[in-house]
Amino acid sequence: MAYRVVFAPEARAQLVSIYSYVARQAGLDTAFAWTESIIDHCESFTTFPHRRTPRDDLRPGLRTIGFRKRVTIAFDVDGDTITIIGVFYGGRDFEFALSADTEQ
């Protein structure tokens, strides 16, 4: 099956926030390289997307994976679509943000 990766609006906003933070701390080139590497990693999920860590305890179908010890990426797989739900940087409490109890 051929999978495609899409980013939820929340994940896109989180990437922009990460970019802004890194740009302030380390410069524009570093920020661009860092966020591009996160996006590239997300796009690599098209190969065996179900092998990542299931987190049905937070939300049915949710999976997470760490990236370079600084980022947690949350996503789900529905048919041939992998939706990046969130990109959590620097130890943010992704479990609280993604728990089914906090959904509106």
pLDDT at 97 over 50: yes
Closest alpha carbon to 59 in 2, 98, 12, 22 = 98
Per the CB < 8 A criterion, the answer to whether 62 and 54 are in contact is: yes
Give the position of tokens 């529905």.
78
Name the phi and psi angles at 58, rounded to 5: -95, -40
Query: Cα–Cα–Cα angle for 45, 51, 53, nearest 5°?
Result: 100
Give the position of tokens 């048919």.
79
Q: What is the pLDDT of residues 11-59, one digit of tens each?
A: 999 999 999 999 999 999 999 999 999 999 999 999 988 878 888 888 8
What CATH number corresponds to the domain at position 93? Answer: 3.30.2310.20
pLDDT at 96 over 70: no
Question: Residue 35 is part of which domain span?
Answer: 4-102
Task: Please tell me the total count of domains within the chain.
Answer: 1
